[in-house]
Amino acid sequence: MASVYTVGDQDEWSSQTNYATWAEKHNFSLGDVLVFKYVKGQHNVYEVKEDTFRSCETSSSGVLAKYESGEDQVVLNKVKKYWFICNIAGHCLGGM
């Protein structure tokens, strides 16, 4: 049975959260859903390749998907590592 996770728990998708620590608390499985909650226009969610995640450079071909609704749901439909960033200026470099 799939689980639904709000990314960042009560802090949601914001620049105040350590997402590496948050992710370590969970055991994600195929079919689980990640919900990214944030104020639309203040943040966004880009699913990216690992090198794009590490560089925060989204002008390359490393962007796999873009979400901007403020309550984005991402189904983990493949067994792989998933990488997410906020593409608002300075947010990725700040830890999002």
Q: What is the pLDDT of residue 83?
A: 97
- DSSP SS3 for 39: coil
Domain range for 20:
4-94
Q: Give the global pTM.
A: 0.92
Burial class (CB in 10 A: 0-12, 13-18, 19+), 16: exposed
- In angstroms, the CA 64 to CA 31 distance is 18
The tokens for 23 are 């992710």
Mean pLDDT of the 75-90 span: 96
- In angstroms, the CA 56 to CA 96 distance is 10
Total domains present in the chain: 1
CATH number of the domain where residue 64 is located:
2.60.40.420
Q: Where are the beta strands (DSSP E) in 17-91?
A: 33-37, 45-48, 63-67, 71-75, 83-85
Provide the percentage of residues in the chain whose pLDDT is more than 90: 89
Q: What is the pLDDT of residue 61?
A: 86
- In angstroms, the CA 82 to CA 39 distance is 22
One-letter amino acid at 59 equals: S
